[in-house]
Structure 1
Amino acid sequence: MLVPALAGLAAISIFGLGALLVAPALADKPADALTAPITTPVTAIPITFDRDEPERTAFGKLVFRGGLNLFGKSRHFGGFSGIALDASGTTLLAVSDAGTWMRAKLDYDGRKLKALQNVVLGPILGHDGKPLKTDAERDSEGLALATGDTRQGAAFVSFEREQRIMRYPFTATRFGPPDRAVPLPKESKRMSANRGIEAVALIRAGRLKGTIVAFSERLTDRAGNLKGWLIGGRGADTITLRRLGGFDITDAAGLPDGGIVLLERRFRYSEGVKMRIRRIAATELKPGALIEGETLLEAHDNLNIDNMEAITATRSAAGETILTLMSDDNFSPLQRSLIMQFALPADKRVAAEPRRSAN
């Protein structure tokens, strides 16, 4: 996540210096935790990715399929950092860095996102069956389905501050308690409190099927590249991502062919926020490897982005790979909760997804 002191900086070109000075005070998570699931209305305003050329759809190697600016009526709506979709692309599950989960139905107008309906928010539960309450324990950042779908199953959730990855059974009305922790390598203890495990994904096919991929936001090696791990039955093996242009990692998702996609962010006072999506082929995911991957999209905030923190991948009925992204608004009125979708063109789509084994 962006630290509170930077929460309003993504909006500098719109709100100016005066807004920046008050942004830290406005970027507060709800102090109290939800005690039970609630429903909330959400207003969805369609957005284009290019404000100056709204009809434009081609960006990098992706095709923009529509997006929404979301306004929830509950003060617990926001901070979304990890997401998953069911196979149909219509039921969304998300986790917030305020220790809450969200389930919602995505409505479409043809292939474009139209609305977010049937929105339910609820608390992520701790080992004691009670909602996570303190900032240190509730900062959930990444989400990867392990079994089932977005209505019922189990998911791996990564947390920073209190650095951990936990496996959470869930139903339509309950998320947790966790049934086990995923062992982390010793070097993960070098992660700072707010630069922890931002990304968690499950490899969905091939020789590493069932392996968890985890990346810190900004844990680097001596060359300045970003460190991550392949976590499986024999423990954790280190992998390293070549750090390009000073970007940090904010999320990851498994692809049908056994590869992954990475969502990255760069922030500087002088230039605002940037976003990048990289695809990592299954053949690159090897213990000890230095990985670079393929850049699918890189965007500056002259395009319609915010603090993009969550990504997931699904297959459309036509066989396309659809990437769905969400932004973390840091519970600040100067930032937005966006959801948007991009498609990989037919000649670049990834292979069909084999059936995933239970984890």
Structure 2
Amino acid sequence: MPKRRHQRAAIALALAASLAAFPAQAEKPASPLPRPTTVAIAVAPIDFDRDNPSRKQFGKLIFRAGLNLYAKSAYFGGFSALAIDASGHTLLALSDAGSWLRASLDYDGRKLKGLNDGVLGPILDADGRPLRDERLRDSEGMALASGDTREGTAFVSFEQRHRIARYPFNAERFGPPAGTVPLPGGTKGLGGNRGIEAMTVIRAGRLKGTLVAFAEGTASGSGNLQGWLIGGPTPGSITLKRIGCFDVTDATYLPDGGIVVLERRFRFSEGVKMRIRRIAAAEIKKGAVIAGEVLLEANDSFNIDNMEAIAAYRAPSGETVLTLMSDDNFNPLQRTLIMQFALPDATPVSAGPSG
């Protein structure tokens, strides 16, 4: 068997163990991170197409750069939710081990080249201490309600003990929570590892301020994917048309009032796949069945892993950039990747974020 096929087989076996609900948790740290701590993040550049590094156009997106991330901490990994500040300079990510990561993004022009000033810290319980019960630490989705990645308030969704909580945070602390958001109708039957996986807050247009949430792989009566509009002018259920048995893993807002949805599919016979869909603002309506536009679909012949987190920001030039991260499930055979793509209708730029 060629070396590349050996590698893909190993990744497929790792994902088979990691995506099978509770076995994935065996690799997680047994206890919460006790306090914030600095972490050095080493990187190795990656190309999306390993066999053709000069290729940059994929589907309807333009690949900017990608990095494989490494850090000497048992708590580094498992990243399932992501936010990027409006300048594209600061990252805030949540791990499904109940930890947060903040880091600054370093660019060479518009090409991401490193992560600096890394800090890992615990998500706090109502008593101000790190979440101790493993069933309470499984944070999966995050959407900024106010502020930015340095200080503000975020909605955070959790699996196993399903809930959406409001978390004030700053550079040193994430929490304690400032209450919870009532779960919408239709969430009572969610499985332990099939909770609200994706959330984002619409930032413009008629639904500005609405929290959009999707459950992972939870099908409506029609077999499509169940979602909700929470708060805002027209709260209620929405449905995302299921294409090819993909599950939703994250979502992010777009400057025009639309959203982008990140999806994943895994099968033993084919490995892992990912998809990115853009949903126009006009499609997002209470009771609607939403199809959206596929921007990119990729299998593991490309440089992907278990892609679970996505965020967007608009560069000063007007270009909208999508940033993706993978969840390595704390499995040594998987990777923590970060990569950036430009939207196809973005204005070409000669330089990205600068200091």
RMSD of aligned Cα (Å): 2.1
Give the Cα–Cα distance (whole angstroms) in 2 for the partners of residues 145 and 243 of structure 1. Answer: 26
Give the Cα–Cα distance (whole angstroms) in 2 for the partners of residues 305 and 132 of structure 1. Answer: 31
Q: 1:179 to 1:20 in 2, by over 3 A?
A: closer
More displaced stretch, 207-216 vs 33-42: 33-42
> Secondary structure of 2:199's match?
strand
Counterpart of 1:99 in structure 2 is 98
Q: Is 2:14–2:331's contact at 8 Å kept on the other side of the alignment?
A: no
More displaced stretch, 252-261 vs 21-30: 21-30
Give the Cα–Cα distance (whole angstroms) in 1 for the partners of residues 54 and 232 of structure 2. Answer: 48
The offset of 1:42, in angstroms, is 1.2
The offset of 1:135, in angstroms, is 2.2
1:205-354 to 2 correspondences below 5 Å: 205-233=204-232, 236-346=235-345
Q: 1:16 to 1:309 in 2, by over 3 A?
A: closer
TM-score scaled by structure 1?
0.90
> Secondary structure of 1:186's match?
coil
> Secondary structure of 1:189's match?
coil
The offset of 1:180, in angstroms, is 1.9
Where does the alignment leave 5 or more consecutive residues of structure 1 unmatched?
1-9, 350-359
Of all paired residues, the percent bearing the same amino acid is 64
> Secondary structure of 1:13's match?
helix
Structure 1 residue 135 and structure 2 residue 130: aligned? no
More displaced stretch, 234-243 vs 265-274: 234-243
What amino acid sits opposite 1:269 in the alignment?
F
Give the Cα–Cα distance (whole angstroms) in 1 for the partners of residues 183 and 332 of structure 2. Answer: 36
Counterpart of 1:13 in structure 2 is 8
What amino acid sits opposite 2:40 in the alignment?
P
The offset of 1:40, in angstroms, is 1.1
Counterpart of 1:354 in structure 2 is none
Q: Is 1:12–1:272's contact at 8 Å kept on the other side of the alignment?
A: no
Q: 1:35 to 1:316 in 2, by over 3 A?
A: same
What amino acid sits opposite 2:58 in the alignment?
F
> Secondary structure of 2:188's match?
helix
Give the Cα–Cα distance (whole angstroms) in 2 for the partners of residues 308 and 153 of structure 1. Answer: 26
Give the Cα–Cα distance (whole angstroms) in 2 for the partners of residues 334 and 35 of structure 1. Answer: 26
Q: Is 2:15–2:334's contact at 8 Å kept on the other side of the alignment?
A: no
Give the Cα–Cα distance (whole angstroms) in 2 for the partners of residues 19 and 340 of structure 1. Answer: 21
Give the Cα–Cα distance (whole angstroms) in 2 for the partners of residues 17 and 266 of structure 1. Answer: 12
Q: Is 2:16–2:268's contact at 8 Å kept on the other side of the alignment?
A: no
What are the Cα deviations for residues 162-211 of structure 1, in whole angstroms up to 9, with x where unaligned?
A: 11111110010000011121111231011101011000100000111000
Structure 1 residue 55 and structure 2 residue 51: aligned? no
Counterpart of 2:351 in structure 1 is none
TM-score scaled by structure 2?
0.91
Give the Cα–Cα distance (whole angstroms) in 2 for the partners of residues 19 and 231 of structure 1. Answer: 36
Counterpart of 1:172 in structure 2 is 171
What amino acid sits opposite 2:258 in the alignment?
G
Q: Is 2:207–2:232's contact at 8 Å kept on the other side of the alignment?
A: no
Give the Cα–Cα distance (whole angstroms) in 2 for the partners of residues 218 and 29 of structure 1. Answer: 23
> Secondary structure of 1:190's match?
coil
Give the Cα–Cα distance (whole angstroms) in 2 for the partners of residues 318 and 110 of structure 1. Answer: 12
> Secondary structure of 1:188's match?
coil
Where does the alignment leave 5 or more consecutive residues of structure 2 unmatched?
349-355
Give the Cα–Cα distance (whole angstroms) in 1 for the partners of residues 110 and 338 of structure 2. Answer: 14
Q: 1:101 to 1:26 in 2, by over 3 A?
A: closer
> Secondary structure of 1:84's match?
strand
The offset of 1:348, in angstroms, is 8.2
Q: 1:112 to 1:21 in 2, by over 3 A?
A: closer
Q: 1:287 to 1:331 in 2, by over 3 A?
A: same
What are the Cα deviations for residues 235-275 of structure 1, in whole angstroms up to 9, with x where unaligned?
A: 84000000000000000011111110000000000000000
Structure 1 residue 71 and structure 2 residue 70: aligned? yes
